[in-house]
Structure formats: C-alpha cells, structure tokens
C-alpha cells in the first residue's frame, strides 16, 4: 500500500482517485478548497485541512485541477504542497496547463526537495471512469518509473515523452488535433445535410474509408443525434486552445486553423454553450449556415 495524495476530486479527478483506492492504496485529500464527498471518506480517504498536510502524509501527490493559476495556488500558496515536501517525494500534475509555467513549477518543486512530473491526460470523463486514459508524461525517468504502476491504474496508453513541460506540450498538440478534427467533421456533415443526404448514413459510409477517425465515430454521432451533454466541455477546450495560441505567440508561430477553431468555440460560448460538449462546435457552423444537421433525409419529389 502506498500513501497517495490527490487534490482535485472533480469530474475527472474523482474516478481517477477511486481507481487508485481500488488498487489498494490509501488516499489523502484536502478540504481546504472544497469539501471531500462523504462517500469518499467512507471509502477510506483521509481528509486533511491543507495541501501541505497532504504532501507530508503522502509519497506521491496527484493534482487534477482546472487551469494554471489553480495549480500554482495549490503548489505554492502558504500551506501549499511545496511546504509539505521532503526529499524524494513526487508531485504529479495531471491537469492541462501551460507548458512554460510547468517548467517553472518543476524547478520550484525540485528546489523544495521533491520531484515533478507533468502528466496531462486525454480521454475525458469516459476514459477516467473506464481507467483507459491516455497519459502524456514529462519529467525525470526515475520519477516516472516509480509512478508508472499508479498511472496504469488510471490509463492504458502511458508515454514518457521527455523532460518537464513536454507532457503538457503533447497535451496542447492533442487538443489542437481534436479541435481541428471536430471542425472538419462538423463541416463535412453540415455539407452533407444541407445537400440533402442523410448525414447519419454519410457518417456510416465515411467510417469505412480514409476519413475514418475516433472523432468522426464518437462526435459525428453526437452531431447527428444532437447529443451535446458534456463529456469534455467547450469551456475547457477553449482554455486549452488559449494555451496553444499563447505558446505560439511566444514561439513566433502562426496557427491559423487553431485560431479559427477557437473563434468557433467563442461563438458557442456567446450563445450559452460553455458547458456543451466540445462536439457542439458544429452549432457555430450551423448558425452561419442557417441549417442544422438532421438525420432525416428530405423526401424526394417524384
């Protein structure tokens, strides 16, 4: 049994933490920012008043938080994780945050005596519940070797990409690909529907060809069925594309299609869609077309 800290028991973090408990480990959590659910306490989660106490009680501390400022606060505020570290303890940030800030956080944690891994995930709430997340890791090989068995309780495709920050860079790249593919699938199905074809059957046909993708399979079905309850919210994907565009400006890069995808997310949010699933990007395209995708093929005249 390993004593593990976990801070960020939300939509993603809670099922991830439960997999660690099911793996036979003792979990430590903090009630400083948000109360720990009573049923988790019943499962044996030890509740502490502050992140510093979680770090002091744990060999490894996982974070699963919304954005860069929240991670910095939990790590370095008075009573934060850094204050409770001892030599050899490992901090693993599984949030999706700025790669550049991550490199700074890693240096500060190492100065406090700990080791740091950035390990963002892909797979959404479904992957978190199924323990099938893709985990992209940046950091020292020795720390990765010590945590890999814990990662295996939460995910399946686990890769040490490189040094600190490289995991977050990989996640940003992932989010660029996902957003642009959602946009492409949305355009294709919108075109098919407007032209009078049944987009459900068009999607089925395309799944057997070179255009097949996981996005076409899952999110194409969402678009056709109008099922936009969130697996991964537009507001979170918008945050990730902000990281991409901010990084691109720092690096002197142009990411024109990423910027377009971000504007489409912005349009959805302007229409109240911050909490829609990110596949609902298609709604912004539909507004411009004055046409919504429908699975019903219009009747043809004799």
Strand partners, 29: 47
Length of the chain: 302
Which long-range contacts (C-beta less than 8 Å, at least 24 apart) are formed by 284-289?
A: 285/183, 285/186, 285/187, 285/190, 286/190, 289/190, 289/194
Do residues 99 and 131 make contact, with C-beta atoms less than 8 angstroms apart?
no
Q: Is 201 a catalytic residue?
A: no
Contact present, 24 and 43 (Cβ < 8 Å): no
Exactly one of 103, 171, 201, 239 is catalytic; name it.
171
Beta bridge partners of 157: 134
Report d(CA 132, CA 12) in Å as an integer: 12
CA dist., res. 290 & res. 60, Å (int):
52
- Token pair in block for residue 219: 């999110």
8 DSSP 8-state letter: -
Contact assessment for residue 135 and residue 159, using Cβ atoms and an 8 Å cutoff: yes
In which residue are the tokens 């800030």 written?
101
CA distances (Å), 166 to each of 74, 75, 135, 223, 236, in order? 21, 19, 12, 33, 20
**CA separation, residue 58 to residues 77, 79, 88, 277 (Å):** 18, 15, 11, 35
Query: What angle do the packed helices 214-225 and 166-194 form, to 10 degrees?
Result: 50
Residues in Cβ contact with 80 at an 8 Å cutoff, skipping those fewer than 6 apart? 50, 51, 52, 73, 74
Neighbours of 101 (CB within 10 A): 18
Active site residues: 171
């Amino acid at each position: 049994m390993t004593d593990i800290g976990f801070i960020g028991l939300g939509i993603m973090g809670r099922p991830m933490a439960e997999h660690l408990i099911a793996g036979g480990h003792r979990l430590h959590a903090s009630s400083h920012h948000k109360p720990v659910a009573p049923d988790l306490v019943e499962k044996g989660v030890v509740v502490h008043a502050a992140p510093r106490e979680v770090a002091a009680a744990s060999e490894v501390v996982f974070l699963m938080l919304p954005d860069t400022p929240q991670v910095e606060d939990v790590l370095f505020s008075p009573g934060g994780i850094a204050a409770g570290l001892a030599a050899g303890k490992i901090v693993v940030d599984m949030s999706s945050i700025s790669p550049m800030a991550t490199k700074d956080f890693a240096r500060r944690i190492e100065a406090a005596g700990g080791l740091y891994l950035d390990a963002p995930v892909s797979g959404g709430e479904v992957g978190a519940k199924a323990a099938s997340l893709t985990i992209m890791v940046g950091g020292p090989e020795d720390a990765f070797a010590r945590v890999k068995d814990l990662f295996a309780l939460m995910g399946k495709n686990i890769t040490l990409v490189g040094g600190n920050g490289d995991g977050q860079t990989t996640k940003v790249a992932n989010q660029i690909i996902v957003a642009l593919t959602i946009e492409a699938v949305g355009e294709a199905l919108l075109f098919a529907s407007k032209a009078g074809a049944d987009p459900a059957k068009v999607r089925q046909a395309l799944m057997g060809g070179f255009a097949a993708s996981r996005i076409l399979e899952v999110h194409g079905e969402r678009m056709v069925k109008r099922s936009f309850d969130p697996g991964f919210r537009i507001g979170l994907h918008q945050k990730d594309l902000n990281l991409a565009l901010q990084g691109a400006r720092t690096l002197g890069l142009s990411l024109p299609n990423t910027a377009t995808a971000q504007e489409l997310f912005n349009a959805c949010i302007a229409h109240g869609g911050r909490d829609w699933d990110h596949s609902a990007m298609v709604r912004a395209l539909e507004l411009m077309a004055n046409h919504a995708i429908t699975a019903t093929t219009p009747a043809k005249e004799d």
